[in-house]
Structure 1
Amino acid sequence: MVNIRALDPSASPLDYYAYELCRLREAAGLKQAQLGDIIYCSGSLIGMIENTKRVPTRDFSERVDAALGTDGHFSRLVGLVLRSQLPHWFQAYAEMEARAEYISTFQCQLVYGLLQTESYARALIGVDRPDQIDELVAARMERQLILEREQPPALWVVLGESVLHQEVGGHEVMRNQLTHLLGFANRPWVQIQVLPFSAGAHTGMQGSFNLLRFDKDPDLIYEEGYAQGYMTANPSVIRERSVGYARLQAEALSPERSAALIARVMEERYGKQPEPGGRAVA
């Protein structure tokens, strides 16, 4: 059982969430197991979240709000909690990404985070952070909510063709991921192009980068390194990368031809494959 007096709500967003969950649950006269029964989870999960041993999800927070009648209190808090789980050097970028009016990105190895499926993200994060998979995947899914806004940012994505062939998580994960990319064809504010292998040497070979544009604030460039990312508003860097991105867009396939290539790779590389005995498997 949590002693609410032992919690320091000012220590972090997660501590504040835990404090509020314990406080409002007790104010409702509910034990952990009773609240768990109401929202279809175990009392031990409630206890772990109140002890900051587990990070809450958005679904959990919405169910708690409904059960305790807290008018969206936890649904508002969970965004801060999940963002705080991101690496400290990435948190500033995530905040700026959420404010951007226009996002353009070139990705030479991986699907951009805003377009990743949960299973693709889980496979990626599990390589280096197996002990933090749940919270980091939840944080990545939370970032993607900016695309569900009534007025989402315009998003232009150029993917190197190698992204389609770099198998992450197995055939089923990749097939679902490529299907997910094709699903954005109906969203006019999201455009996806593929830079084919036939483009040869190109300006994006220096690495992946993102360009963020705002209504009133200066543009930003973000580049990710092995240990951490780098963000700058230096005008000369912005100019160089903006011109480079325009060249990548010009050299890439059109969105329509890109979708056709994605669909072809999905079927040829990640479609149903025959087993040695002749039976097809996914």
Structure 2
Amino acid sequence: MVQAREIDPSASPLDYYGYELRRLREGAGLKQSQLGDIIYCTGSLIGMVENGRRVPTRDFSERVDAALVTDGHFSRLVGLVLRSVLPTWFQAYAEMEARASFISAYQSQLVYGLLQTEAYARAVLGVEKPDKLDTAVAARMDRQRILARENPPVLWVVLDEAVLLREIGGREVMREQLAHLLSLQDRQWLEIQVLPFEVGQHAGMMGSFNLLRFDDDPDIHYCESYDSGHMTANPQVIKERSVGYARLQAEALSPRASAVLIARVMEERYGKHPEPGGRAVA
């Protein structure tokens, strides 16, 4: 059993989660090992979450809710916990992203976070966060829940062709990622376009950027550098970047032609090709 430590529930969402887990577990008359047996994990994991030393997953939270009959308390709270472990400079954007009714994204190097597979995200995040990789991946995957809402935001993504060719995580990971993009093409509120190399110079050459639109709030432009993000509602910036995004959309391949290109790259670059001896390799 993990030694209990005093938790200040007001210190962070993670500490509040741990405090509530301990309070409700003890209220149910269960030891850590007993709750662990019920939700199919170790008692030590329960203890680490209660002490704020392990970030809970959404699956863990749903099982705790079922075991302690808490009416979705931890399932609601885990979203705040996962958002709180995002980089401090990114948290404000993630909150605005979750509230947006229309998201326009141009990505010059990577698949947009809301469209990444878990394996692709793990490869990307593992470069900078190898010691906190599971937590970082869980937080990124949790952001994608907004696309599964009953009323999801409109998401329009323009990807530079380089995104398709940059091999992230190896050929199998890339094949899975491109297949995932293709699987999204029938979503009512989601469109993906590819900006081909042949366009040459274009309105996104300064780098990736996003535009967020809201039902009752001003539009927001977002871009980031190595270790910081910048959001602004400056009307002139919004005007210029909105026109720039419209130009990117106009110069990019249509969503249907983009899907054809994605499928071709997936098969030609990341498909399974036979070795001289006839054995297929990834």
For the aligned pair, the TM-score class normalised by the smaller chain equals: over 0.9
Amino acid at match of 1:65: D
Check conservation: 1:158, 1:192, Cα contact below 8 A: yes
Amino acid at match of 1:129: K
Could you state the TM-score of these two structures normalised by the residue count of structure 2? 0.98
Tell me the distance in 1 between the aligned counterparts of 2:53 and 2:238. 42
Amino acid at match of 2:249: Q
1:115 is aligned to 2:115: yes
The equivalent of 2:191 in structure 1 is: 191
Amino acid at match of 1:195: L
- Secondary structure of 1:206's partner? coil
- Secondary structure of 1:186's partner? coil
Q: Residues 60-94 of structure 1: CA distance to partner in whole angstroms, max 9, x if unpaired?
A: 00000001101000001000000000011100000
Tell me the distance in 1 between the aligned counterparts of 2:106 and 2:71. 40
The equivalent of 2:267 in structure 1 is: 267
Tell me the distance in 2 between the aligned counterparts of 1:124 and 1:272. 23
Tell me the distance in 2 between the aligned counterparts of 1:132 and 1:231. 26
Check conservation: 1:4, 1:23, Cα contact below 8 A: no
Amino acid at match of 1:234: N
Amino acid at match of 2:154: A
1:280 is aligned to 2:271: no
Check conservation: 1:4, 1:19, Cα contact below 8 A: no
Check conservation: 2:3, 2:47, Cα contact below 8 A: no
Tell me the distance in 2 between the aligned counterparts of 1:278 and 1:228. 49
The equivalent of 2:80 in structure 1 is: 80
Check conservation: 1:2, 1:50, Cα contact below 8 A: no
- Secondary structure of 1:158's partner? strand
Tell me the distance in 2 between the aligned counterparts of 1:31 and 1:278. 57
Tell me the distance in 2 between the aligned counterparts of 1:188 and 1:103. 14
- Give the C-alpha shift of residue 235 in structure 1: 0.7
The equivalent of 1:8 in structure 2 is: 8
Check conservation: 1:2, 1:22, Cα contact below 8 A: no
- Secondary structure of 1:30's partner? coil
1:135 is aligned to 2:132: no
1:213 is aligned to 2:218: no
Q: Residues 227-274 of structure 1: CA distance to partner in whole angstroms, max 9, x if unpaired?
A: 211111111111110000000000000000000000000000100032
Tell me the distance in 2 between the aligned counterparts of 1:175 and 1:52. 37
Give 5+ residue unaligned stretches, structure 1.
none
The equivalent of 2:92 in structure 1 is: 92
- Secondary structure of 1:226's partner? coil
Amino acid at match of 1:49: V
Q: Residues 29-72 of structure 1: CA distance to partner in whole angstroms, max 9, x if unpaired?
A: 11111111111111121111111111000010000000110100
- Give the C-alpha shift of residue 127 in structure 1: 0.2
Give 5+ residue unaligned stretches, structure 2.
none
Tell me the distance in 2 between the aligned counterparts of 1:209 and 1:30. 49
The equivalent of 2:67 in structure 1 is: 67
Amino acid at match of 1:79: G
Q: Residues 129-188 of structure 1: CA distance to partner in whole angstroms, max 9, x if unpaired?
A: 111111111111111000001110000000000000001101111011001100111101
Tell me the distance in 2 between the aligned counterparts of 1:59 and 1:227. 30
Tell me the distance in 1 between the aligned counterparts of 2:277 and 2:18. 54
How is 1:198-237 mapped onto 2 (pairs within 5 angstroms)?
198-237=198-237
Q: Which stretches of structure 1, 4 residues or more, deviate above 3 A after TM superposition?
A: 1-5
Tell me the distance in 2 between the aligned counterparts of 1:13 and 1:73. 13
Tell me the distance in 2 between the aligned counterparts of 1:190 and 1:255. 10
Amino acid at match of 2:53: K
Q: Residues 78-115 of structure 1: CA distance to partner in whole angstroms, max 9, x if unpaired?
A: 00000000011100000000000000000000000000
Check conservation: 1:125, 1:136, Cα contact below 8 A: yes
How is 1:117-196 mapped onto 2 (pairs within 5 angstroms)?
117-196=117-196
